[in-house]
Amino acid sequence: MIKNDLFLKALRGETVERPPVWMMRQAGRYLPDFMKLKAKYDFFTRCRTSELATEITVMPIHQVGTDAAILFSDILVVPQAMNIEVQMKPNFGPWLPNPIRDRKSLDQVIVPDVYEELGYVYEAIKMTKKELNDEVPLIGFAGSPWTIFCYCVQGQGSKNFDKAKEFCFTEPQMAHELLQKITDTTIAYLKGKVEAGVDAVQVFDSWGGMLSPVDYQEFSWPYIQQIIDALKDMIPVIAFGKGCWFALDVMAKSGASALGVDWTCSGRNARYLSGGNITLQGNFDPSRLFSPPKDIKRMVHEMIDEFGKDRYIVNLGHGILPNIPVENAKAFVEAVKEYK
């Protein structure tokens, strides 16, 4: 039995004394101990070495005090497993030297044996579960098919993913073929995470908001729905679409246990748009963690009041920024624990 199961209670919609709190990208970036490991090992070495992934995953539990751990990994391990080369360039970000933009490159994309190609992730989960010793739940995650697709076609990060969208609108059949391959791989990958012992999974649609509401229903949401359908009877699923407030009504009927909300949609609006019966997660602006700790605490209490303490998981509206002072991250977590 997990000692602190507030997070799981909130996912089940149970009444709680206070909402649970964790932060996207909490494992690393802003923690000094993480930076020491970063100086020693390159990015994918940290992802692929179970001992390092475990150490990084557990860090914020002991140092910041969140109510859930999220496995240290990256959404781009999935395309790597699918025979797509992905590099992480320092001071640049993801770089895919051979983007998928024609029939020949698409035919080389495989739906892999996830246990063979991503076994190191499952090892890290087992090791982390042992290390956590049932203190808090462990979250596994994957990028949404659309978000992975964006990198596979664009070849790098982008402000607008114009090449990815161009491929959708000029070669829709091939676009859907690639999206389906990513979806099939992601479902198998997440099922493996459930077997390895995670307590919940989150699907990150970081670039969903790049699409119009109509295009979102063609190129992103149906694939996330497939993932939810495949997993919802096994484990709680959180769907997070950055900039996707326009789809909250559809998402709320999906069978997901919770929906993530970014800071551009108020708690009140998110409750209204989602129908008021589903657990919501979010939505503190990550940049607001630069505010003085006393302001952070006040704003967090206001945010909880707006969302309501039940069916709510306190989080940021996207990943924590690398240069946030650790004491400010702690103030964010403490504010939730002090909430009355």
Confirm whether residue 241 is marked as ligand binding.
no
Q: What is the CATH classification number for the domain harbouring 142? A: 3.20.20.210
Residue 43 belongs to some domain of the structure: yes
Place of tokens 């035919």: 107
Q: In the chain, how many domains are there?
A: 1
Residue span of the structural domain in which 91 resides: 20-261
The pLDDT of 39-57, averaged and rounded, is: 95
Q: How far is residue 193's CA from residue 278's CA, in Å, rounded to a whole number?
A: 24
Domain assignment present for residue 182? The answer is: yes
Name the pLDDT band for 290 (thresholds 50, 70, 90): very high
- pTM, rounded to two decimals: 0.97
Please tell me whether 12 is known to bind a ligand. no
The answer to the question of residue 330 being in a domain is: no
162 annotated binding-site participant:
no
pLDDT in tens, 189-247: 999 999 999 999 999 999 999 999 999 999 999 999 999 999 999 999 999 999 999 99
Q: Is 36 exposed, middle or buried (0-12, 13-18, 19+ CB in 10 A)?
A: exposed
Task: Check whether 25 is labelled as a binding-site residue.
Answer: yes
Answer yes or no: is 175 a known binding residue.
no
Residue 151 in marked binding region: yes
CB 165 within 8 A of CB 131: no
Residue 14 within a domain: no
Taking the C-alpha atoms of residue 279 and residue 260, their distance in angstroms, rounded to an integer, is 9
Structure tokens given for 185: 């791989």
> Is residue 318 annotated as involved in ligand binding?
yes
Does 47 map to a domain?
yes
26 is in an annotated binding site: yes
pLDDT in tens, 137-175: 999 999 999 999 999 999 999 999 999 999 999 999 999
In a domain, 275, yes or no: no
- 135-160 b/e (C-beta count within 10 Å ≥ 16 → b): ebbbbbbbbbbbbbbbbbbbbbebee
Report H helices in 155-266.
162-170, 172-196, 213-219, 221-231, 248-252
29 is in an annotated binding site: yes
Annotated binding residue 27:
yes
Q: Is residue 6 part of a domain?
A: no
Residue 315 resides in a domain: no
Could you report the per-residue pLDDT of 100-143, keeping only the tens digit for each?
A: 999 999 999 999 999 999 999 999 999 999 999 999 999 999 99
